[in-house]
Amino acid sequence: MDDERGDPAARGTLSRVRTGLTPEMVVRRHGGTATWTQLAEHVTQHALRSALQAGLVLRAARGVYALPELPTAREVAARCGGVVSHLSAAEQHRLPLLLPPETASVTVPPNAHPPPRSDVVYRWRSLAPADVERRAAVTTPLRTVLDCAADLDRLEALAVADGALRLGLVHREDLLAAAVRRRRGRRAACWVAEHADGRAANPFESALRGLALSAGCTGFEPQVRIDAGRPARVDLADRRRRVVLEADSFEWHGDRRALRRDARRYDELVRAGWTVRRFAWEDVMLDQEWVIGVLRDVAG
């Protein structure tokens, strides 16, 4: 194995196969950049070298890897007479994303023949005038949320929908009504519309709530205020079962004072009769089966 002193992709040392994830998937699930230490938990050095040679992953620095820069979706759309859509549109609307996009997303008319590109995903759809912000050539926030719900992973789609509600770009009643009217992807769109919640603080928390829903746990509310000795606001809480879920990030616990404060807060919640479970970003994004299993044990 290697550490930050070396670049494993340049040497021939061995590494074990950890999971079925590809290097680009691991880098993306770490937010767009990852160190070799993070990659080595899931991929071999041979897989990393192959991804580098294919241009799927770039070496950003010694022992640090990143996703290649995507083309500007707006420029691609302008060339082929399409509109920016899906996660590219979500980015343009400044919606917080769970993960960086893998490709640029452009929706084109059914009779269009855009040049194929490996870094662009085209979708052939007829869009109503009300679905497009013509001056910017981008789908509206409502259409963007629905497209993401219909075509993307449900955790990513839920994060986009939560963000749109939180920022006031979409109203819940409009989202529910539009999801029911949708033809293609109606079931997935209705699931996202039903469970979207503007109280969610960030995409990480939305993903954890999405995994709870996948585990059959429907009682968790985001950003619940609990009086446990002193008032505490928790990421997710099931009031009936008295279970708290926390989406813990390193940035939030980046110093000793923050760590001590939150450790004490969690202990006070336990003293008050709440069950507390804390989940790291890496587990939520890279070991979802384990997270779902824990959630089923706790809230079953």
pLDDT (0 to 100) of residue 228: 74
- For the chain, the C-alpha Rg in angstroms (whole number) is 21
Q: Is the dihedral of CA 35, 36, 41, 42 positive or negative?
A: positive
> pLDDT tens, 64-95?
999 888 778 888 998 899 999 999 999 999 99
Q: Which two tokens stand for residue 199?
A: 């109280």
Of 1 and 89, the one with more pLDDT: 89
CA distance 142 to 118: 27
Phi, psi of 145 (to 5 degrees): -60, -45
- Other CB atoms within 10 A of residue 295 CB: 23
Burial zone of 189 (CB within 10 Å; 0-12 exposed, 13-18 middle, 19+ buried): buried
pTM over 0.85: no
pLDDT (0 to 100) of residue 20: 78
